[in-house]
A and B are shown apart, each in its own frame.
Chain A
Amino acid sequence: MPGPGRAPIVEARAIHKHFGHLHVLKGVDLTVAEKELVFLIGPSGSGKSTLLRCLNRLEDPSSGSVVVDGIDMLDPRTDINKARQRIGMVFQSFNLYPHMTALGNVALALRKVQGMGKAEAEAKAAAALDRVHLADRADHYPLQLSGGQQQRVAIARAIALEPRVMLFDEPTSALDPELVGGVLAVMRELREDGMTMVVVSHEMGFAKAAADRVVFMSDGAIIEEGIPSEIFTNPSHERTRAFISQIERH
């Protein structure tokens, strides 16, 4: 729960999203407090990724309001490119730029969006790579890196912009099992540094250990939410129970 005295960083209200005839989000409210780590779980097609993508307007909600760090994301007068720098995003498929080195990937937005000079941007990019323990891979191209390393570069690319909140869209789903740990370790360090995070993932162990709150979505709506121990051991809805038991059987 957003505790008392903790200002909300993300406030999404009554979000609806239609894709043609599909009603993917049916009036979702989500508030994330500063330094909170919120886990979004739910069956595939439940709308959790779409909700995440509505927060930085990679998807335009059909209706509702999204305020991030005090900025009305849906106001047409909002400079969306400026606002997005406050919202880091990490994707399931990493989406690193294959024609640039790890350092180049991280430095691009610093140079082109924040207008830094080459040296300054590269110094800052190197520091971000160091935070994800890949300082020694700065000159490698994405195809020369393992999936786990690529995802950590993607995290560095996002945190280099010093965002106020980080969105993770199934960050470990595309990884071989032995590479998941390194990515989760970096996420845990981010959390310890006080980063506000919204994570769509099925890493239940990580959720139990690190999440402040777990939000269960199904069919485009939030069914229930609560602290991890509550949701995982004693869910109040049948649908949550069914989903948790399915996940834990794996």
Chain B
Amino acid sequence: MTGWERFTDSFFNARVMAQYLPKIVEGFFLTVELAALIIVAGLALGLLLALVRAFAIRPLNWLIIFMVDLFRALPPLVIIVLLFFGLPNAGVELSGFVASWLALTLVLMAFSEEIFWAGITSVPKGQWEAARSTGLGFVQTLAWVVLPQALRITIPPLTNRTIAITKGTALASVVAVPDILGAANAGVSFSFNPSPLTLGAIAYLVLFFPVVVLGRWIETRFAWKR
């Protein structure tokens, strides 16, 4: 066997790939489901926290900032492991799927809150003043004037952060979730051949490449009209 043959036999072994393709496809859909649930819950909670923070209620804001800093500081894997292996000691049993979802949702919530908040504060004070001077209330100004501008500014960093955190779904394989990586790893163990990992990489590309392109499209779609 030449080096090239060894390489293709290891990473592009058609027989092994065909055998584990169904498992990887299952893992693909599981990853899609997990990622979608993380994105929806994480972004919604992040936006909610940023909006609450805009009301500038001191004790509440301290709590938000503490929570956000905590989940930005902890490695996602540590949170997953704590939730999965730690919580049962407190009588709460979470499945690997739920533990992974919750952990990554909290992380995305924390990062997106900071991004939404930065977007809200980046809207010039004059916008608030103009709106308030016409009689719009605080909430109306936030909803109709500030938030639409803030969201536009947040789209690029938000897309990046969302993709980065959603890719963390691969960590779920650590707590026995048969996602793409979990399924691929299992395939590698059973076949003694790393080709399922190649399939896994392709599955991740198929999943995230459109997301990256979609993010780019949204950025141009919502640019200021000149």
Contact = CB atoms under 8 A, between A and B. Distances in A.
Interface in B136-186: 136-137, 140, 144-145, 148-149, 152
B226 interface: yes
Interface in A109-156: 109, 112-113, 141, 143-144, 154
Interface stretch (B8-16, B83-91, B102-110, B122-130): B122-130
A96 B133 CA distance: 12
Nearest to B127: A95
B134 A113 contact: yes
A87 B132 CA distance: 11
Interface of B: 124, 126-127, 129-137, 140, 144-145, 148-149, 152, 224-226
Contacts of B226: 141, 143-144
Given A141-B225, A143-B226, A144-B225, A99 B149 contact: yes
Given A99-B224, A143-B225, A143-B226, A91 B134 contact: no
A58 B136 CA distance: 13
Contacts of B131: 97, 108-109
B129 A95 contact: yes
Contacts of B224: 98-99, 141, 143
Nearest to A89: B133
Interface in A151-196: 154, 157-158, 161
Sort chain A's interface into a size bin: 20 to 34
A85 interface: yes
Contacts, number: 74
Given A95-B129, A97-B145, A98-B149, A112 B136 contact: yes
Contact of B140 (A58, A84, A112, A144): A112
Interface of A: 56, 58, 81-82, 84-85, 87-89, 91, 93, 95-99, 108-109, 112-113, 141, 143-144, 154, 157-158, 161
B134 A109 contact: yes
7 contacts: A58-B133, A88-B133, A95-B130, A99-B152, A113-B135, A141-B224, A144-B226
Contacts of A109: 131, 134-136
Contacts of A95: 124, 126-127, 129-130
Given A99-B152, A141-B225, A144-B226, A108 B129 contact: no
A40 to B, nearest CB: 17
A157 B152 CA distance: 23
Given A98-B224, A99-B152, A93 B134 contact: no
A232 B140 CA distance: 44
Given A56-B133, A108-B136, 7 more contacts: A96-B130, A97-B131, A98-B149, A99-B152, A109-B134, A157-B130, A158-B134
A99 B148 contact: yes
